[in-house]
Structure 1
Amino acid sequence: MTVRVSLCVSVLCVLFLICSAADVDENCRTKLTKLDPHLSAYMGQVFTIEATHDNDEHYTYLVGVCVNPDPVNSDSECGIVQYNTTNPSNRHCVGKVSTAQVSRTADGVWIELTYSGGDPYHTHCNGAARSARLIFLCDPLINGMGKFDFLEENRDENVCFYTFSLAAKAVCGSLLSAGDIILILFACLALLWAAAMLGGCLFKRFIQGAKGLEQIPLLEWYREFGNLEADGCDLVCRSRKRLVPEYREPTFGADTDDEDEKDDNLLPM
Protein backbone atom coordinates (compact mmCIF):
# COMPACT_ATOMS: atom_id res chain seq x y z
CA MET A 1 0.00 0.00 0.00
CA THR A 2 2.81 2.39 0.94
CA VAL A 3 4.59 1.67 -2.35
CA ARG A 4 1.46 2.45 -4.34
CA VAL A 5 0.94 5.75 -2.55
CA SER A 6 4.58 6.71 -3.16
CA LEU A 7 4.25 5.89 -6.86
CA CYS A 8 1.06 7.93 -7.15
CA VAL A 9 2.70 10.91 -5.46
CA SER A 10 5.74 10.63 -7.74
CA VAL A 11 3.58 10.51 -10.87
CA LEU A 12 1.57 13.53 -9.73
CA CYS A 13 4.77 15.48 -9.05
CA VAL A 14 6.15 14.65 -12.48
CA LEU A 15 2.88 15.66 -14.15
CA PHE A 16 2.84 18.91 -12.20
CA LEU A 17 6.40 19.74 -13.25
CA ILE A 18 5.63 18.94 -16.90
CA CYS A 19 2.53 21.13 -16.85
CA SER A 20 4.41 23.94 -15.15
CA ALA A 21 7.23 23.76 -17.69
CA ALA A 22 4.71 23.79 -20.53
CA ASP A 23 3.12 27.03 -19.14
CA VAL A 24 6.40 28.96 -19.47
CA ASP A 25 6.27 31.35 -22.42
CA GLU A 26 9.04 30.27 -24.79
CA ASN A 27 9.51 33.74 -26.28
CA CYS A 28 10.05 35.21 -22.82
CA ARG A 29 12.30 32.33 -21.77
CA THR A 30 14.48 32.70 -24.86
CA LYS A 31 14.92 36.45 -24.42
CA LEU A 32 15.74 36.25 -20.71
CA THR A 33 18.10 33.27 -20.82
CA LYS A 34 19.86 34.58 -23.92
CA LEU A 35 20.68 37.79 -22.09
CA ASP A 36 21.67 36.00 -18.85
CA PRO A 37 21.68 32.17 -18.87
CA HIS A 38 21.94 31.91 -15.07
CA LEU A 39 18.47 33.48 -14.76
CA SER A 40 16.98 30.24 -16.06
CA ALA A 41 16.57 29.27 -12.39
CA TYR A 42 13.77 31.84 -12.16
CA MET A 43 11.82 30.44 -15.11
CA GLY A 44 8.27 29.55 -14.11
CA GLN A 45 8.63 30.99 -10.59
CA VAL A 46 5.61 32.76 -9.04
CA PHE A 47 5.99 35.37 -6.28
CA THR A 48 3.25 36.76 -4.03
CA ILE A 49 3.65 40.38 -2.92
CA GLU A 50 1.58 42.36 -0.43
CA ALA A 51 1.61 46.15 -0.91
CA THR A 52 -0.17 49.24 0.41
CA HIS A 53 -0.79 52.13 -1.98
CA ASP A 54 -1.04 55.84 -1.27
CA ASN A 55 -4.80 55.61 -0.81
CA ASP A 56 -4.24 53.10 2.03
CA GLU A 57 -5.71 50.29 -0.02
CA HIS A 58 -4.07 46.90 0.32
CA TYR A 59 -3.28 44.97 -2.85
CA THR A 60 -1.86 41.57 -3.57
CA TYR A 61 0.31 40.97 -6.65
CA LEU A 62 1.02 37.61 -8.21
CA VAL A 63 4.22 37.99 -10.21
CA GLY A 64 5.20 35.27 -12.68
CA VAL A 65 8.57 35.06 -14.41
CA CYS A 66 7.68 34.15 -18.00
CA VAL A 67 4.61 32.31 -16.74
CA ASN A 68 0.97 33.05 -15.97
CA PRO A 69 0.64 33.20 -12.16
CA ASP A 70 -3.18 33.44 -12.07
CA PRO A 71 -4.77 30.22 -10.72
CA VAL A 72 -8.25 31.60 -11.48
CA ASN A 73 -7.67 32.26 -15.18
CA SER A 74 -4.97 29.80 -16.21
CA ASP A 75 -5.55 30.35 -19.94
CA SER A 76 -4.68 34.04 -19.73
CA GLU A 77 -1.40 35.47 -21.03
CA CYS A 78 -1.15 37.68 -17.96
CA GLY A 79 2.26 37.82 -16.29
CA ILE A 80 1.29 39.88 -13.23
CA VAL A 81 -2.09 39.86 -11.52
CA GLN A 82 -3.27 42.60 -9.15
CA TYR A 83 -6.26 42.22 -6.85
CA ASN A 84 -7.63 44.04 -3.85
CA THR A 85 -6.79 42.10 -0.71
CA THR A 86 -10.22 42.75 0.79
CA ASN A 87 -12.01 42.08 -2.52
CA PRO A 88 -10.15 39.35 -4.45
CA SER A 89 -12.72 39.38 -7.25
CA ASN A 90 -11.51 42.85 -8.27
CA ARG A 91 -8.61 41.63 -10.39
CA HIS A 92 -6.51 43.36 -13.04
CA CYS A 93 -3.85 42.13 -15.42
CA VAL A 94 -0.82 44.39 -15.08
CA GLY A 95 1.05 43.02 -18.12
CA LYS A 96 1.14 40.11 -20.54
CA VAL A 97 3.92 37.56 -20.79
CA SER A 98 3.63 37.49 -24.58
CA THR A 99 4.82 41.13 -24.71
CA ALA A 100 7.96 40.49 -22.64
CA GLN A 101 10.98 42.66 -23.37
CA VAL A 102 14.38 42.24 -21.73
CA SER A 103 17.21 44.73 -21.22
CA ARG A 104 20.22 45.21 -18.97
CA THR A 105 22.35 48.10 -17.80
CA ALA A 106 25.78 48.71 -19.29
CA ASP A 107 27.52 47.71 -16.04
CA GLY A 108 25.44 44.52 -15.76
CA VAL A 109 24.21 45.36 -12.25
CA TRP A 110 20.57 44.81 -13.07
CA ILE A 111 18.35 43.15 -15.67
CA GLU A 112 14.88 44.43 -16.50
CA LEU A 113 11.97 42.31 -17.67
CA THR A 114 9.05 44.40 -18.95
CA TYR A 115 5.43 43.29 -19.40
CA SER A 116 2.96 45.51 -21.25
CA GLY A 117 -0.51 45.26 -22.77
CA GLY A 118 -2.37 44.80 -19.47
CA ASP A 119 -5.86 45.96 -18.56
CA PRO A 120 -6.46 49.67 -19.29
CA TYR A 121 -6.74 52.24 -16.52
CA HIS A 122 -10.22 53.58 -15.80
CA THR A 123 -9.78 57.15 -14.64
CA HIS A 124 -6.11 58.06 -15.06
CA CYS A 125 -3.11 57.60 -17.38
CA ASN A 126 -5.44 58.51 -20.26
CA GLY A 127 -6.87 55.00 -20.23
CA ALA A 128 -3.51 53.47 -21.23
CA ALA A 129 -2.85 49.75 -20.83
CA ARG A 130 -1.12 48.73 -17.64
CA SER A 131 2.54 47.70 -17.78
CA ALA A 132 5.14 46.53 -15.27
CA ARG A 133 8.90 46.35 -14.87
CA LEU A 134 10.59 43.46 -13.08
CA ILE A 135 14.11 44.43 -12.04
CA PHE A 136 16.63 41.71 -11.15
CA LEU A 137 19.43 43.21 -9.02
CA CYS A 138 22.79 41.59 -8.30
CA ASP A 139 23.41 41.62 -4.54
CA PRO A 140 26.19 39.26 -3.32
CA LEU A 141 25.09 39.77 0.32
CA ILE A 142 21.66 38.16 -0.16
CA ASN A 143 21.87 34.37 -0.44
CA GLY A 144 19.31 32.24 -2.20
CA MET A 145 16.82 33.19 -4.90
CA GLY A 146 15.49 36.29 -3.18
CA LYS A 147 11.97 37.67 -3.58
CA PHE A 148 10.25 40.52 -5.40
CA ASP A 149 9.29 43.70 -3.58
CA PHE A 150 6.79 46.30 -4.75
CA LEU A 151 8.58 49.62 -5.35
CA GLU A 152 6.05 51.98 -6.87
CA GLU A 153 3.15 52.59 -9.18
CA ASN A 154 4.06 55.48 -11.44
CA ARG A 155 0.93 57.30 -12.59
CA ASP A 156 2.53 59.97 -14.68
CA GLU A 157 0.23 61.14 -17.48
CA ASN A 158 2.84 60.23 -20.09
CA VAL A 159 4.25 56.97 -18.68
CA CYS A 160 2.38 54.69 -16.26
CA PHE A 161 3.91 51.49 -14.95
CA TYR A 162 4.39 49.29 -11.88
CA THR A 163 7.91 48.53 -10.64
CA PHE A 164 9.03 45.41 -8.78
CA SER A 165 12.57 44.53 -7.77
CA LEU A 166 14.36 41.36 -6.72
CA ALA A 167 17.84 41.46 -5.21
CA ALA A 168 19.79 38.23 -4.76
CA LYS A 169 23.18 36.63 -5.16
CA ALA A 170 21.73 34.23 -7.75
CA VAL A 171 21.28 37.16 -10.15
CA CYS A 172 25.03 37.87 -10.10
CA GLY A 173 25.97 34.57 -11.69
CA SER A 174 29.71 33.91 -11.44
CA LEU A 175 31.56 36.41 -9.26
CA LEU A 176 35.05 34.95 -9.63
CA SER A 177 37.67 37.61 -10.06
CA ALA A 178 41.13 37.19 -11.55
CA GLY A 179 42.56 36.85 -8.05
CA ASP A 180 40.07 34.11 -7.19
CA ILE A 181 41.00 32.19 -10.33
CA ILE A 182 44.71 32.47 -9.53
CA LEU A 183 44.12 31.21 -5.98
CA ILE A 184 42.09 28.28 -7.27
CA LEU A 185 44.83 27.36 -9.75
CA PHE A 186 47.48 27.65 -7.04
CA ALA A 187 45.46 25.42 -4.72
CA CYS A 188 45.02 22.83 -7.49
CA LEU A 189 48.75 22.83 -8.25
CA ALA A 190 49.55 22.49 -4.53
CA LEU A 191 47.22 19.50 -4.24
CA LEU A 192 48.77 17.87 -7.30
CA TRP A 193 52.27 18.43 -5.89
CA ALA A 194 51.27 16.96 -2.51
CA ALA A 195 49.70 13.90 -4.20
CA ALA A 196 52.83 13.38 -6.34
CA MET A 197 55.09 13.68 -3.28
CA LEU A 198 53.00 11.21 -1.27
CA GLY A 199 52.90 8.72 -4.14
CA GLY A 200 56.65 9.05 -4.70
CA CYS A 201 57.42 8.53 -1.02
CA LEU A 202 55.27 5.42 -0.86
CA PHE A 203 56.88 4.05 -4.03
CA LYS A 204 60.44 4.60 -2.82
CA ARG A 205 59.63 3.31 0.67
CA PHE A 206 57.84 0.08 -0.18
CA ILE A 207 59.08 -0.71 -3.71
CA GLN A 208 62.68 0.51 -3.65
CA GLY A 209 63.22 0.06 0.11
CA ALA A 210 64.53 3.60 0.71
CA LYS A 211 65.04 4.89 4.25
CA GLY A 212 65.15 8.36 5.84
CA LEU A 213 65.62 11.30 3.51
CA GLU A 214 66.17 8.96 0.60
CA GLN A 215 62.40 8.35 0.57
CA ILE A 216 61.81 11.86 -0.75
CA PRO A 217 61.34 11.73 -4.53
CA LEU A 218 63.64 13.93 -6.63
CA LEU A 219 65.74 14.68 -3.55
CA GLU A 220 68.89 15.51 -5.53
CA TRP A 221 66.94 17.89 -7.75
CA TYR A 222 65.54 19.73 -4.72
CA ARG A 223 69.06 20.04 -3.27
CA GLU A 224 70.47 21.36 -6.50
CA PHE A 225 67.55 23.74 -6.82
CA GLY A 226 68.21 25.02 -3.29
CA ASN A 227 71.87 25.61 -4.14
CA LEU A 228 70.88 27.56 -7.23
CA GLU A 229 68.50 29.69 -5.17
CA ALA A 230 71.22 30.39 -2.62
CA ASP A 231 73.67 31.40 -5.35
CA GLY A 232 71.09 33.68 -6.94
CA CYS A 233 70.26 35.30 -3.60
CA ASP A 234 73.96 35.79 -2.86
CA LEU A 235 74.48 37.42 -6.25
CA VAL A 236 71.48 39.73 -6.17
CA CYS A 237 70.76 40.56 -2.52
CA ARG A 238 74.14 40.80 -0.76
CA SER A 239 75.81 44.22 -0.76
CA ARG A 240 79.21 43.08 0.57
CA LYS A 241 81.97 43.14 -2.00
CA ARG A 242 83.12 39.74 -3.02
CA LEU A 243 86.85 39.01 -2.64
CA VAL A 244 88.36 38.19 -5.97
CA PRO A 245 91.88 36.72 -5.94
CA GLU A 246 94.39 39.04 -7.54
CA TYR A 247 96.01 37.73 -10.67
CA ARG A 248 99.79 37.95 -10.95
CA GLU A 249 101.80 37.41 -14.01
CA PRO A 250 104.33 34.59 -13.67
CA THR A 251 107.99 35.67 -13.75
CA PHE A 252 110.88 33.33 -14.17
CA GLY A 253 114.27 35.02 -13.97
CA ALA A 254 113.54 37.66 -11.35
CA ASP A 255 111.89 35.32 -8.88
CA THR A 256 114.81 32.89 -9.12
CA ASP A 257 117.36 35.58 -8.34
CA ASP A 258 115.41 36.85 -5.35
CA GLU A 259 115.10 33.40 -3.87
CA ASP A 260 118.84 32.84 -4.27
CA GLU A 261 119.61 36.08 -2.46
CA LYS A 262 117.33 35.12 0.45
CA ASP A 263 119.02 31.76 0.74
CA ASP A 264 122.46 33.38 0.84
CA ASN A 265 121.58 35.18 4.06
CA LEU A 266 120.99 31.87 5.75
CA LEU A 267 124.43 30.44 5.03
CA PRO A 268 127.14 30.63 7.78
CA MET A 269 129.79 33.26 7.23
Structure 2
Amino acid sequence: MELFRIPMRGSVLLWAILTQLLLCRNGVFAGNGTKACKLQDESASQRKVLERLEPLAGKNFSVTVKEEKENYRYVFQLCGDAGGVQKAGVIQQTDSQAKPTIVGSYTSTKAIGGSDWVMLIYHNGDNYDSHCNNEARKAIIMISCNKNKEGDLEVILEDRDRQSDCFYLFELDSSAVCPPVQSQLSAGSIILIIGFCLVAVYLIGGFLYQRLIVGAKGMEQFPNYAFWVEVGNLSADGCDFVCRSKNREEAPAYRGVTADALDEEPEERDDHLLPM
Protein backbone atom coordinates (compact mmCIF):
# COMPACT_ATOMS: atom_id res chain seq x y z
CA MET A 1 0.00 0.00 0.00
CA GLU A 2 2.87 2.40 0.75
CA LEU A 3 4.08 2.01 -2.84
CA PHE A 4 0.81 3.41 -4.22
CA ARG A 5 0.61 6.41 -1.87
CA ILE A 6 3.67 8.20 -3.21
CA PRO A 7 2.50 8.30 -6.87
CA MET A 8 -0.96 9.44 -5.77
CA ARG A 9 0.47 12.35 -3.76
CA GLY A 10 2.63 13.33 -6.71
CA SER A 11 -0.35 13.32 -9.07
CA VAL A 12 -2.40 15.50 -6.71
CA LEU A 13 0.46 18.01 -6.49
CA LEU A 14 0.81 18.02 -10.27
CA TRP A 15 -2.91 18.70 -10.74
CA ALA A 16 -2.73 21.59 -8.25
CA ILE A 17 0.18 23.17 -10.16
CA LEU A 18 -1.62 22.78 -13.48
CA THR A 19 -4.78 24.36 -12.04
CA GLN A 20 -2.85 27.39 -10.79
CA LEU A 21 -1.15 27.81 -14.15
CA LEU A 22 -4.52 27.69 -15.90
CA LEU A 23 -5.94 30.32 -13.54
CA CYS A 24 -2.94 32.57 -14.12
CA ARG A 25 -3.41 32.25 -17.87
CA ASN A 26 -7.09 33.24 -17.65
CA GLY A 27 -6.26 36.26 -15.49
CA VAL A 28 -8.10 35.03 -12.38
CA PHE A 29 -5.02 34.36 -10.28
CA ALA A 30 -2.61 36.77 -11.91
CA GLY A 31 -3.29 39.80 -9.74
CA ASN A 32 -1.72 42.24 -12.21
CA GLY A 33 -4.17 45.00 -11.34
CA THR A 34 -4.25 47.81 -13.86
CA LYS A 35 -1.25 46.32 -15.69
CA ALA A 36 -3.61 43.81 -17.27
CA CYS A 37 -5.17 46.61 -19.33
CA LYS A 38 -3.63 46.94 -22.78
CA LEU A 39 -3.62 50.51 -24.05
CA GLN A 40 -4.29 51.27 -27.68
CA ASP A 41 -1.49 53.82 -27.65
CA GLU A 42 0.92 52.93 -24.88
CA SER A 43 2.08 56.08 -23.07
CA ALA A 44 3.35 57.00 -19.64
CA SER A 45 0.55 59.51 -19.11
CA GLN A 46 -2.24 56.99 -19.74
CA ARG A 47 -0.49 54.37 -17.63
CA LYS A 48 -0.28 56.90 -14.80
CA VAL A 49 -4.01 57.55 -15.09
CA LEU A 50 -4.68 53.82 -14.81
CA GLU A 51 -2.50 53.57 -11.71
CA ARG A 52 -4.85 56.01 -9.97
CA LEU A 53 -7.59 53.39 -10.36
CA GLU A 54 -5.58 50.60 -8.73
CA PRO A 55 -7.93 50.38 -5.68
CA LEU A 56 -10.78 49.42 -8.05
CA ALA A 57 -8.92 46.58 -9.78
CA GLY A 58 -10.43 43.12 -9.45
CA LYS A 59 -13.89 44.35 -8.38
CA ASN A 60 -17.13 43.75 -10.28
CA PHE A 61 -19.59 46.66 -10.47
CA SER A 62 -23.05 45.84 -11.77
CA VAL A 63 -26.32 47.61 -12.51
CA THR A 64 -29.66 46.40 -13.87
CA VAL A 65 -31.76 48.49 -16.24
CA LYS A 66 -35.43 47.56 -16.53
CA GLU A 67 -37.17 48.13 -19.84
CA GLU A 68 -40.60 47.14 -21.12
CA LYS A 69 -39.72 43.76 -22.56
CA GLU A 70 -36.31 42.97 -21.12
CA ASN A 71 -34.06 43.50 -18.13
CA TYR A 72 -30.49 44.39 -19.02
CA ARG A 73 -27.73 43.72 -16.53
CA TYR A 74 -24.35 45.35 -17.05
CA VAL A 75 -21.16 44.25 -15.31
CA PHE A 76 -17.97 46.31 -15.30
CA GLN A 77 -14.53 45.32 -14.06
CA LEU A 78 -11.39 47.38 -14.21
CA CYS A 79 -8.68 45.55 -16.19
CA GLY A 80 -10.26 42.18 -15.48
CA ASP A 81 -12.76 39.65 -16.76
CA ALA A 82 -16.19 41.17 -16.09
CA GLY A 83 -18.60 38.47 -14.99
CA GLY A 84 -15.94 35.84 -15.70
CA VAL A 85 -16.00 36.52 -19.46
CA GLN A 86 -12.45 36.42 -20.76
CA LYS A 87 -11.01 39.77 -21.94
CA ALA A 88 -14.34 41.53 -21.34
CA GLY A 89 -14.21 44.81 -19.44
CA VAL A 90 -17.98 45.45 -19.70
CA ILE A 91 -20.67 42.88 -20.53
CA GLN A 92 -24.42 43.02 -21.10
CA GLN A 93 -26.68 40.19 -19.99
CA THR A 94 -30.38 39.53 -20.52
CA ASP A 95 -32.71 36.76 -19.45
CA SER A 96 -33.29 35.65 -23.02
CA GLN A 97 -29.62 35.51 -24.03
CA ALA A 98 -27.62 32.41 -23.30
CA LYS A 99 -24.31 34.19 -23.93
CA PRO A 100 -23.50 37.67 -22.61
CA THR A 101 -22.65 40.47 -25.03
CA ILE A 102 -19.21 42.03 -24.70
CA VAL A 103 -19.67 45.81 -24.67
CA GLY A 104 -15.98 46.60 -24.39
CA SER A 105 -12.67 44.81 -23.95
CA TYR A 106 -9.87 45.81 -21.58
CA THR A 107 -7.34 44.56 -24.14
CA SER A 108 -8.05 47.75 -26.11
CA THR A 109 -8.16 50.53 -23.53
CA LYS A 110 -7.84 54.29 -23.54
CA ALA A 111 -7.56 56.32 -20.33
CA ILE A 112 -8.03 60.09 -19.93
CA GLY A 113 -7.81 61.77 -16.55
CA GLY A 114 -8.33 65.11 -14.83
CA SER A 115 -7.83 66.40 -11.32
CA ASP A 116 -10.88 64.60 -9.90
CA TRP A 117 -12.14 62.36 -12.73
CA VAL A 118 -11.02 59.58 -15.08
CA MET A 119 -12.63 58.55 -18.35
CA LEU A 120 -11.99 54.93 -19.26
CA ILE A 121 -12.77 53.75 -22.80
CA TYR A 122 -13.02 50.05 -23.73
CA HIS A 123 -12.99 49.29 -27.47
CA ASN A 124 -13.38 46.08 -29.50
CA GLY A 125 -16.67 44.84 -28.10
CA ASP A 126 -19.03 42.55 -29.99
CA ASN A 127 -20.33 43.93 -33.28
CA TYR A 128 -23.81 45.45 -33.50
CA ASP A 129 -26.41 43.34 -35.32
CA SER A 130 -28.33 46.09 -37.10
CA HIS A 131 -27.00 49.41 -35.81
CA CYS A 132 -23.96 51.62 -36.45
CA ASN A 133 -23.02 49.77 -39.65
CA ASN A 134 -22.31 46.65 -37.62
CA GLU A 135 -19.24 48.22 -36.02
CA ALA A 136 -17.74 46.98 -32.75
CA ARG A 137 -19.32 48.14 -29.52
CA LYS A 138 -17.54 50.63 -27.28
CA ALA A 139 -17.95 51.37 -23.56
CA ILE A 140 -17.13 54.69 -21.91
CA ILE A 141 -16.93 54.66 -18.11
CA MET A 142 -16.82 58.07 -16.44
CA ILE A 143 -15.34 57.71 -12.95
CA SER A 144 -15.92 60.77 -10.79
CA CYS A 145 -14.63 61.75 -7.35
CA ASN A 146 -17.00 61.15 -4.47
CA LYS A 147 -15.61 60.64 -0.98
CA ASN A 148 -18.99 59.83 0.57
CA LYS A 149 -20.28 57.36 -2.03
CA GLU A 150 -18.45 54.33 -3.40
CA GLY A 151 -19.05 51.84 -6.18
CA ASP A 152 -22.47 52.74 -7.66
CA LEU A 153 -22.48 52.00 -11.39
CA GLU A 154 -25.08 53.84 -13.47
CA VAL A 155 -26.05 53.57 -17.13
CA ILE A 156 -26.33 57.05 -18.63
CA LEU A 157 -27.21 56.21 -22.23
CA GLU A 158 -26.62 53.94 -25.20
CA ASP A 159 -25.98 56.06 -28.28
CA ARG A 160 -26.55 53.74 -31.24
CA ASP A 161 -28.68 55.95 -33.52
CA ARG A 162 -25.81 57.04 -35.73
CA GLN A 163 -23.78 55.70 -38.60
CA SER A 164 -20.54 55.24 -36.67
CA ASP A 165 -18.79 55.80 -33.37
CA CYS A 166 -21.65 54.49 -31.21
CA PHE A 167 -21.02 53.95 -27.53
CA TYR A 168 -22.40 52.96 -24.13
CA LEU A 169 -21.90 55.58 -21.42
CA PHE A 170 -21.57 54.57 -17.76
CA GLU A 171 -20.89 56.56 -14.63
CA LEU A 172 -19.19 55.39 -11.45
CA ASP A 173 -18.52 57.27 -8.21
CA SER A 174 -15.31 56.48 -6.36
CA SER A 175 -12.87 58.08 -3.94
CA ALA A 176 -9.94 56.56 -5.84
CA VAL A 177 -9.83 59.51 -8.26
CA CYS A 178 -10.12 62.19 -5.59
CA PRO A 179 -7.07 64.45 -5.31
CA PRO A 180 -4.97 64.04 -2.17
CA VAL A 181 -5.88 66.38 0.66
CA GLN A 182 -3.16 68.94 1.22
CA SER A 183 -2.35 70.38 4.60
CA GLN A 184 -3.76 73.89 5.11
CA LEU A 185 -1.30 74.78 7.88
CA SER A 186 1.47 77.22 7.07
CA ALA A 187 4.98 77.09 8.49
CA GLY A 188 4.17 79.82 11.01
CA SER A 189 1.09 77.95 12.24
CA ILE A 190 3.11 74.76 12.71
CA ILE A 191 5.75 76.66 14.70
CA LEU A 192 3.06 78.20 16.93
CA ILE A 193 1.46 74.83 17.57
CA ILE A 194 4.83 73.32 18.50
CA GLY A 195 5.53 76.30 20.77
CA PHE A 196 2.17 75.97 22.57
CA CYS A 197 2.78 72.25 23.04
CA LEU A 198 6.21 72.87 24.57
CA VAL A 199 4.79 75.53 26.92
CA ALA A 200 2.00 73.17 27.99
CA VAL A 201 4.50 70.37 28.68
CA TYR A 202 6.69 72.79 30.66
CA LEU A 203 3.82 74.07 32.80
CA ILE A 204 2.19 70.71 33.48
CA GLY A 205 5.45 68.85 34.04
CA GLY A 206 6.85 71.62 36.26
CA PHE A 207 3.64 71.82 38.30
CA LEU A 208 3.63 68.07 38.92
CA TYR A 209 7.33 68.09 39.85
CA GLN A 210 6.97 71.00 42.28
CA ARG A 211 3.89 69.52 43.91
CA LEU A 212 4.75 65.82 44.05
CA ILE A 213 8.56 65.82 44.32
CA VAL A 214 9.45 69.11 46.00
CA GLY A 215 6.22 69.36 48.01
CA ALA A 216 5.56 73.00 47.20
CA LYS A 217 2.26 74.66 48.02
CA GLY A 218 0.38 77.66 46.69
CA MET A 219 2.05 79.82 44.06
CA GLU A 220 5.36 78.06 44.63
CA GLN A 221 3.96 75.13 42.66
CA PHE A 222 4.48 77.19 39.52
CA PRO A 223 7.73 76.02 37.86
CA ASN A 224 10.66 78.40 38.38
CA TYR A 225 8.45 80.71 40.38
CA ALA A 226 11.29 82.93 41.71
CA PHE A 227 12.70 83.43 38.23
CA TRP A 228 9.37 84.46 36.71
CA VAL A 229 8.66 86.81 39.63
CA GLU A 230 11.99 88.53 39.03
CA VAL A 231 11.23 88.74 35.31
CA GLY A 232 7.87 90.32 36.13
CA ASN A 233 9.48 92.89 38.46
CA LEU A 234 12.09 93.80 35.88
CA SER A 235 9.43 94.12 33.22
CA ALA A 236 7.38 96.41 35.47
CA ASP A 237 10.43 98.57 36.22
CA GLY A 238 11.25 98.84 32.53
CA CYS A 239 7.66 99.80 31.71
CA ASP A 240 7.68 102.41 34.48
CA PHE A 241 10.95 103.89 33.21
CA VAL A 242 9.90 104.01 29.55
CA CYS A 243 6.21 104.74 29.64
CA ARG A 244 5.62 106.89 32.72
CA SER A 245 6.68 110.59 33.05
CA LYS A 246 7.26 112.68 36.20
CA ASN A 247 5.75 116.13 36.90
CA ARG A 248 7.91 119.04 35.73
CA GLU A 249 8.49 122.24 37.73
CA GLU A 250 6.75 125.37 36.55
CA ALA A 251 8.88 128.28 35.38
CA PRO A 252 8.98 131.37 37.69
CA ALA A 253 6.56 134.20 36.92
CA TYR A 254 9.15 137.03 37.31
CA ARG A 255 12.14 137.65 35.13
CA GLY A 256 15.57 137.70 36.64
CA VAL A 257 14.63 135.34 39.43
CA THR A 258 15.72 131.78 39.07
CA ALA A 259 14.12 128.79 40.67
CA ASP A 260 17.27 128.17 42.71
CA ALA A 261 16.99 131.58 44.28
CA LEU A 262 13.37 130.97 45.22
CA ASP A 263 14.20 127.64 46.76
CA GLU A 264 16.88 129.12 49.07
CA GLU A 265 15.64 129.65 52.60
CA PRO A 266 16.78 132.81 54.45
CA GLU A 267 19.69 132.20 56.80
CA GLU A 268 18.77 132.81 60.39
CA ARG A 269 20.92 135.38 62.21
CA ASP A 270 21.51 134.92 65.95
CA ASP A 271 24.42 137.28 66.42
CA HIS A 272 22.34 139.59 68.64
CA LEU A 273 22.01 136.86 71.20
CA LEU A 274 25.73 136.76 71.90
CA PRO A 275 27.08 138.77 74.84
CA MET A 276 28.85 141.92 73.88
Taking structure 1 as reference, are residues 147 and 256 closer, same or farther at Cα in structure 2, changes over 3 Å only?
Answer: closer
Q: Distance in 1 between matches of 2:179 and 2:30?
A: 22
Deviation at 1:94, TM superposition (A): 1.0
Counterpart amino acid of residue 119 in structure 2: E
Deviations 1:33-56 (A, max 9, x none): 733755322111111210135x75
Partner in structure 2 of residue 81 of structure 1: 91
* Corresponding residue for residue 208 of structure 2: 202
* 1:1-269 correspondence runs (5 A): 19-20=28-29, 22=31, 24-28=33-37, 34-35=48-49, 39-52=53-66, 56-71=69-84, 73=85, 76-84=86-94, 86-105=95-114, 108-140=115-147, 142-143=148-149, 145-155=150-160, 156-176=162-182, 178=184, 193-217=199-223, 220=227, 224=231, 245-246=247-248, 254-260=258-264, 263=266
Q: How many residues align?
A: 231
Equivalent pair of 1:204/1:215 in contact (CA under 8 Å): yes
Match of 1:6 in 2: none
TM-superposition CA deviations, 1:66-98 (whole Å, max 9, x none):
111233x4xx211111111x2241421111112
SS of match in other structure, 1:41: helix
- Provide the alpha-carbon RMSD of the alignment: 4.5
Q: Structure 1's 201 and 32: CA in aligned 2 closer, same or farther, altered over 3 A?
A: farther
Q: Give the CA deviation at 1:58.
A: 1.8
Q: Distance in 2 between matches of 1:115 and 1:38?
A: 17
- For the 8 Å contact 1:46–1:63, the answer to whether it is kept is yes
Contact 1:31 1:101 in 2 (8 A): no
> AA paired with 1:22?
G
Q: Which runs of 5+ in 1 are unaligned?
A: 1-14, 236-240
Amino acid at match of 2:64: E
> Do the aligned partners of 2:34 and 2:54 also contact (CA within 8 Å) in 1?
no
For residue 82 of structure 2, give the secondary structure of its aligned residue in structure 1.
coil
Stretches of structure 2 lacking an aligned partner (at least 5 in a row): 1-19, 39-43, 252-256, 271-276
Question: TM-score, normalising length from structure 2?
Answer: 0.63
Distance in 2 (CA, whole Å) between partners of 1:120 and 1:224 is 88
Q: 1:257 to 1:221 in 2, by over 3 A?
A: closer
Pick which of 145-154 and 29-38 moved more: 29-38
Amino acid in the other structure paired with 2:65: A
Q: 2:34, 2:51 within 8 Å by CA — same for their partners in 1?
A: no
Instruction: Please give the TM-score of this superposition, normalised by the length of structure 1.
Output: 0.65
What letter matches 2:92 in structure 1? Q
Distance 1:110 1:131 in 2: 19
Give the direction of change, closer, same or farther, for the CA distance of 1:213–1:259 in structure 2 (3 Å limit). Answer: closer
